[in-house]
Amino acid sequence: MKYQNLQKNDSKIFEAIINEEKRQFFGVELIASENYVSESVLEAMGSILTNKYSEGYVNARYYAGNKFIDEIETIAIERAKKIFGVKFVNVQPYSGSPANLAVHFALLNSGDKTLGMNLSAGGHLTHGYKVSFSGKYYKSENYGVDKNGFIDMDEVREIAKAHSPKLIWAGFSAYSRILDWKSFREIADEVGAFLVADISHIAGLIAGGVYPSPVNFVDCITTTTHKTLRGPRGAMILTNNEEISKKIDKAVFPGLQGGPHNHTTAGIAVALGEVLEPNWKNYAEQIVKNSRTFAESLKKKNYEIVSGGTDNHLFLVDMIKSRGISGGEAEKILENFGITLNKNSIPNETRKPTDPSGVRIGTPAITTRGLKEKDVQKIAEFFDLAIQNPKNQNLKNEIADFMKDFEIPGIKI
């Protein structure tokens, strides 16, 4: 029996885990930064590797007994190199934000200027937002999107020339279109800045060949290992520049972190092995097909989609314009029916971040469960029915009954 020791020794935690399994199994997961890992990844994450302390790097540890940890970390590194076509990889960052902090720490001095995407336009906290370390300890300027929801590279160039940043971030957490890596490189060269791509959201799509890779245009890359990569909650930093790689390694350890989380490193290695399998491309393609289908289905129901559609795994819906309710209200209504997504700021946001105008919808998790276009159309119908009639008592059961036919790795109900 799964969790038998936990059930015996800590019934409260056991009960919470079982309830969370039920929530995931019967619900619709539309949070763009979430996914379901395989049972193999779960096994690695729950292994005795968590017992070992491994400060340092392969063949250069500060503790003895790391022979097999070195093997695991090397496998993770080599698989990442093969997938993304890079020469140097650090797999030790604890998560995406620490990885981005390490890049700042490696390439900049406190007070240096940076340029990143505005949070309300789809950027990330760690790309220079004022409440983040990246906005507090560095002089950050932001670029946004035009009235149609697309990045205007001419505007980015103007801001870069006026601001003269030492580092430019190209990446997002809520932008549904293709980034122009080549134009970002040209702008960075014009102002003498480092160019860093944060591909946390699109790494799995890049690995599957359905989103262009920044490798040949940037100085280094950061990415989380969950989201579209479908691994555990960790991160990596990649580069083809040996000098930058040495600075990154020193920034991660001993600059910012202690020993790596070895069970996570193993989980990353396993997940990257799955990315190297032939069917990964099909998975990545299906994520995008599902995302486009979802956006088009909602458009047909007169929902306002930011930029009019999507080229990747996510899109934003302006709920104020669509149905006269805020993103926060929509999030709560939908969660009551087992549909989980997140409220999100939209371009030219007029509301506060805690209750913005929009919601963000992503398709990696439902694609992992095996949903195809016709199923996504049904989810869009559920979405609309819930928003139209929040007191519909039968809809939650109908949604749960629909979702029970789609498996989740590691969950048996």
| Nearest partner of 267 among 90, 75, 99, judged by Cα | 75
Specify the DSSP element, H or E, that contains 235: strand 235-239
Helices 242-250 + 96-107 axis angle, to 10: 110
| Nearest partner of 173 among 211, 126, 222, 124, judged by Cα | 124
DSSP string of 263-308?
Answer: HHHHHHHHHHHHHTSTTHHHHHHHHHHHHHHHHHHHHHTT-EEGGG
55 and 61 Cβ atoms separated by less than 8 Å: yes
* 88 three-state secondary structure: strand
357 and 349 Cβ atoms separated by less than 8 Å: yes
How close are the terminal C-alpha atoms of the chain, in Å? 13
Apex CA 275: angle with CA 272 and CA 279, to 5°?
160
Active site residues: 53, 55, 198, 224, 227, 233
CA–CA separation, 329 and 347 (whole Å):
19
